[in-house]
Amino acid sequence: MTPSLVRRILFPRGSDLAVIAGGDKDGGGDGEKFWLCRTLQHVYEDREGPFAVQWLEKAGEKGKAAAAVRNAYRRSTKPSSLERESVLCKIKLCRANKGAKVRWLSAST
């Protein structure tokens, strides 16, 4: 394969991203500076147009568990799409416990 035909992956499928909070179109204006999402497909450097993501939403734990999982997130059930220009950075999320759908935010970039 010649170098001109090699496509470079910018964000592999399953990457967690911080995305700039948009306007009212996507439910923005809730005071958040950024949202979190996970890519559902490889995002190539030369890609134009939107790519598929799954939003990460606050887990919403209550009581004693809330303090322990203050930064806990769950994946939304429906996929969405996103433009590459709205990505702030790739982030690292760690699983709160094995097999759980709850994830928590650790190191930023």
Tens of each residue's pLDDT in the chain, 109 residues: 555 678 899 999 999 999 998 654 444 455 668 899 999 999 999 989 999 999 998 876 655 555 555 677 888 888 999 999 999 999 988 776 655 666 665 544 4
In CATH terms, the fold of domain 3-105 is SH3 type barrels. (2.30.30)
pLDDT of amino acid 101: 60
Write down the residue that tokens 């997130």 correspond to. 73
pLDDT of amino acid 109: 46
pLDDT of amino acid 33: 85
SS3 80: strand
DSSP string, 40-55: SS-EETT--S-EEEEE
Nearest to 84 by CA among 32, 24, 12, 11: 11
Q: How is the chain split into domains, by residue range?
A: 3-105
pTM for this prediction: 0.72
